[in-house]
Each structure stands twice: as structure tokens, then as C-alpha cells.
A and B are shown apart, each in its own frame.
Chain A
């Protein structure tokens, strides 16, 4: 099994190169880029100034000479062929240098690093809340299949699943922050966050997190809850549960002593992928609540053609995704002793 996982880890390298080379090539091939974007912004700024002073529309393109543009291109490495540019970029990535953001003119890593606390907070909170609600709820629903409780919770869970998160976000914002004023309109923390005590800080983060978390979570209960419920029901009907009861065990106890672990197998197959929650996050919800997380950063850097940041996020998210897949495999192997990866250790 160890050799299997070593092989899986080694496979990350070619997969990573494949993913990044594709995206890198796309950023070079699509029309428009950081330089054009900068020129456009400069032109618009120039136009504003020109309009307010002399009433003449200035010509942005003339604000930089071709020489200067070439210099800029050379500075960002856009003057080289795709493969050479990619090789240089990869060479820097290997040395843990993700380049410089064209928009913020600061290292990409610093830009990304600033978002980590926010995204990890939301990612981990979502993860904990999802599993701590879905697994117990799924168990109770399986045991009380087709009762009022089961039907009612199904209705609620699917209702949340059916509404897009950003719609929930807008509705919550309008009612609870706008009309009622119970919660803040936006942001991750208050402006006076740094002046608060520890308890105050925790309270402030929680206070700001309530509405976005509800928006994030509304749709996330359905899949895991129903997976848990159906998987447990399958296992409750399994013959080994009947064996346990035939041994003299009470049904309730057989649920936890026998059926539970078996029904975690399908849940475990996706567990490792939760690691990517750290860098995902919905840009729409982040936009609505004005939270500076990864979703928003990714979206903005795409719009602004901030390709170094786009590539930087891709590096982190693709690595996490691949590690997450391996983690899932490890989880499955932990839960299910029948799973033996690789061929070396087949049972007799």
C-alpha cells in the first residue's frame, strides 16, 4: 500500500505540469493581457484628467511608447515564446517564487497569503458545520425513515439545495442586515477590530460570519446528509446487521457498532477533497458580503488579467486538489480494511 501512495505522490508532478501548462498557454493565447489592461487603465485615467482640465479626450495609447511597452513585456516575460515563458515560470515556482502581481505590484505569494486566514476560517467552519450536521442528521433520518421528522428535514435540506447560494446571500443581506439591521452589511471584521480584546475579536468575526456562513451552508447539507442516510439504510438492511441482532444485540446498538462504520465508506471517498475548501469559496457570495477571500481574488485577478496571481492560485488549488484525492484514498483505506491499493499485498 505504501508503494501505491508513493506512486500517487509522484504522479502529482506530471499532472501538475499538465494542468499549469494548459492554463499558462491559455493566458498567453487569449487576446488582452496585463499590459493591455494597464494601458487601458492608464488611458482612462489620462482621459479623466484630460476631460476635467481641457475638455479634450486624450489618446491613451500614446501615453507609452512602443519601446516602453516592449520593456514592460520583457519585464513580465511576455516577450518570449509560450514554452520558454512557461519554463521560466516553472523554474521560479520550483524555487517557491510565484512571481509578481501585475495589479498590486507585490509578490503573488503575499497577495495570496493575505487571503488565507479568511478562506481557512470559512473553509474550516463550513467543513465542521457540514459534517457535524449532516452525519447525525443522516443517521437519525435513516433510523426514522419515512417519519414526519424525515420528510420535514428532507424538505428543508432540498429547499436549501435548490436555491443558489448567492440568492440566499442577497435575501439574507436584504432582510437581516438591511431591513432589520441585526447583522453587519459586509466585511470580514469591523473597522475597529484591532482595538478589540480577544473575546471581542472572536465575537466580531462570528458576528460578521453568520450571514455568509448560512449562504455557504444552505446548499451544502443535502448531498452529504442524503449520502449518509442512504448509505446507512443500505447497511441497516445488510445481513451482518441481522447477524448482530441474531447474536442478541439491540438494534440501536447494532446501528453504531456495525452499520455506522460501513456506511462511512462513501462519505470517506470525498473527505480528503475538503482540503480544497481552503482555496475555493464562492466569488459571488464573497462579492455580495465583500469578503476578501480566495473566490473574490481569483475572480478579480481573471477580470484584471493579473495572470501571475491566476497562475499562483492555480498552483495552490491544483496541488491541494491532488493531495486531497490522495487523502480521500487514505481515508477509504482507513475505514474499509478490504481496500488494498496496489497489487503487492493481495489477501490470500
Chain B
């Protein structure tokens, strides 16, 4: 049994212009201890997928309208909110993109850390909680932890704050960490440190990570398997090695081509994917990538493609993947 199984998940938002389906029949699984990358451009539904898993969709506008999310065999969509509270932060923890705003500005770091622990260890004394907070800060590599506990978030740098967020997430030794673009807001050097830290922590604790990013470079560094999303749907799903070696979906191919490479010819024009993502409120009936795809044919505009097994553990949602591969 996988640790987390997301099956046909659909999430919609009620807007003034009617209901908009932001995540459309997304399925994937995460095994214990593995790192799954969820990649796609802004607005493709990757963050909403994460929030759906956590049950953190902004209310009342957002809701899951189909599919199931089962964690260790328990359908998180069907359990009462009290049960969800026991899972959140305890078995599944989450860190966010903006460490600047994700911490409460008027509470000391120590209190916020201790709270993450005591919420799931109700009997713990203040001393125990403080001890755990120190331990956690130490674990995420924050020096002078004792002093940091008494500081406020604004007294820490961005990288430090993200480390505090990670420490909070680790408080109850979760089975799964959902990391929603945790390095996007940070400097490149700090980014590398945080990725390094996550990798080390995973090795130490054996937790699984769902890593959400728009950065394929980060995926390559951290993930064993990758799910590529485009406009609310899964475009391609494969192991990281297979995806980088042999991308099958025209969108993935476009993405990989648009990364500047050291071995490339210097001073040449960087390849881009022409066109723009279709409006999420007005999606085409056929393939959502059709308007930007170099391999488009009539069938692409008429019917939406379904995920097909192109190779062992390599699935792609494209009518023309065979032709694309041959080309």
C-alpha cells in the first residue's frame, strides 16, 4: 500500500464567473520514504493539489469535487475535521513558499515551534516542548538555538525562517512532508542549502516528500519520481531519470529545452514554448496543450488525451506520443 494515494482528484473554486475546476482528475501515489516532484508552471494547479491533500483549501470558495485522497488507506476526504487535525502537522506536515509570511509575526519563534509539538503531544510539559524546540532548531542547522527561541520571525533571515518552518514541520516526525515551492522565495545559495537540508533530513527520518516546484533543476536534484502538470491535469509521470533522459510529452520536452545549459552553444536564443496557457475558466475540450503544441493534429483539438503507459512506470497524456517519440 502506498503512503499516499491521490485518485482522480478534482478541485474547484467558486468564482463570480461560475465554478472553475483548477485540478482535474489528478492521480498519483507516494511511497514511504520517497520524494515525488510535482512540477508545472504557475497556476497549473500544483499548489491547489497540495492544499487539497491537507484540507487547507481557502473556504468557502475552494472544495474538492471528485476523487479521493487516501493516506495509509484512510480517505482524508471522508474523515471528520477533528481527525484531519490529528493528521495535519503530525503525520503529514507542510511547508510553504513564503517563509516571510508563513510565521506569525507577533509570536516568538520558540512558542510557534513548541506549539507544533504540543498540539500532537497534549500531555507534554512546557520544558519538554522547549527541549523539543531546541532539538528541532539544532536538527535544521540553526546555530545559537537557545537565543533564536526568544526571537521574533522578523529578526531572522529568509533562509532561517524557512529552516524554522521546516523545524516546525518535523516536530512530530511526520511520514510525509509537503513542500510547496519552499525555495522559490530564497537566494540561490540559500536555496541549495535548504535542498541539502531536506535531503539530509529525509535520510535521517525516512519521511516521504512531495516536492512542489516550477524548477526542473530542483526536481533533478531531489526527486526520484516526477509528475508534470499542465493547466490542471497531469501531462506526464515518470521516474526522474526517465523523464530527463526521455521526455515524452511535448510540454515536458518544451520545458526541458527552455533550460539554459552549460554545454549549449553560447549566445544562442533560448528556446521557449510559444503561446500562453489557456484561461482556466475557458479551457478547450481537447488537449489543453493543443494551442502551443508543435505536434498538434485534429484529434488533439477534439478529444482530451488520457494517461497512457508509454513505458514501464512512464505515463503520458498525449494522443501522439508515439509519433512525437519517432520524430
Contacts and interface: CB of A to CB of B under 8 A. Distances in A.
A246 B168 CA distance: 10
Interface string B78-112: 00011001111110011010100111111100000
Contacts of A249: 85, 89, 115, 119
B130 to A, nearest CB: 17
Given A247-B115, A347-B154, A347-B155, A335 B89 contact: no
A334 to B, nearest CB: 10
A248 B86 contact: yes
B86 A262 contact: no
Interface in B172-210: none
Nearest to B120: A248
A246 B56 contact: yes
A335 B85 contact: no
A59 interface: no
B228 to A, nearest CB: 25
Interface stretch (A47-55, A155-163, A232-240): A232-240
A247 B89 contact: yes
Contact of B102 (A240, A250, A261, A348): A240
Nearest to B98: A239
Contacts of B81: 250
A95 interface: no
B103 A243 contact: yes
A240 B107 CA distance: 11
B115 A243 contact: no
B244 interface: no
Interface string A217-242: 00000000000000000000111101
Contacts of B104: 240, 243-244, 258, 262
B155 A246 contact: no
B116 A247 contact: yes
A79 interface: no
Given A242-B96, A347-B154, A347-B155, A247 B102 contact: no
Given A246-B89, A247-B88, A248-B89, A258 B107 contact: yes
A335 B152 CA distance: 13
Given A243-B96, A246-B94, A262-B106, 9 more contacts: A238-B101, A239-B102, A243-B104, A247-B93, A249-B89, A261-B107, A338-B105, A338-B154, A347-B155
Q: Which 10 residue pairs of A and B lie closest in terms of their CB atoms, listed nearest first?
A: A248-B89, A247-B89, A240-B104, A239-B101, A248-B88, A246-B94, A248-B119, A337-B152, A347-B155, A239-B102
21 contacts: A237-B58, A239-B101, A240-B104, A243-B104, A243-B168, A245-B56, A246-B56, A246-B89, A246-B93, A247-B119, A247-B168, A248-B88, A248-B89, A248-B116, A249-B85, A249-B89, A250-B81, A258-B104, A261-B107, A336-B105, A337-B154
